[in-house]
Amino acid sequence: RARDLTQKRGCAQTVPLDSIELSQMPVVAPSDERDFDAEWARALLDEALRRFQREVQHSEEGRASFALLGDCVLGDAELSYAETAVQLGVTVPAVKSRVFRLRQRLYQIVREEVLRTVASEAECDEELRYLSAVLQKVYGVPALPPPE
């Protein structure tokens, strides 16, 4: 029965490899390496940001802080640290400290995402440098610096 179904679907027909004319095969232009790298960087950072936001959203304080500090962490802040401090009811040094810790955590998550795709720490460091170069070249923005 399975053999009959296979033949019915046409899967039983074989084509000898030596009968294929390679010169007649359509040439598929390779995708632009820059586009591939940009997509890779975007996908990796999207996943890291999803994880980061899920992690921050677990506590009430985290949600409230992230609503104001999230843009500071990502470098898109509309408010100054002083304005953010007033809204959070903390000092400017406290805001700077929170932003620093959040940036450290985001960097760690990006590193973990890269580690899932490579075999060693050395390869991870190399991939992070490459990610930084891609972000600079494609998007014109510096990547996340390693935590100090």
Three-class DSSP labels, the chain? CHHHHHHHCCCCCCCCHHHCCHHHCCCCCCCCHHHHHHHHHHHHHHHHHHHHHHHHCCCHHHHHHHHHHHHHHHCCCCCCHHHHHHHHCCCHHHHHHHHHHHHHHHHHHHHHHHHCCCCCHHHHHHHHHHHHHHHHHHHCCCCCCCCC
pLDDT surpassing 50 at residue 142? yes
Q: What is the average pLDDT across 101-120?
A: 92
Q: With bands split at pLDDT 50, 70 and 90, how would you rate the model's confidence at 20?
A: very low
Output the pLDDT for position 17: 44
Q: With bands split at pLDDT 50, 70 and 90, how would you rate the model's confidence at 68?
A: confident
Output the pLDDT for position 9: 46
CB 98 within 8 A of CB 137: no
Q: With bands split at pLDDT 50, 70 and 90, how would you rate the model's confidence at 73?
A: confident
Q: What is the average pLDDT across 42-62?
A: 87
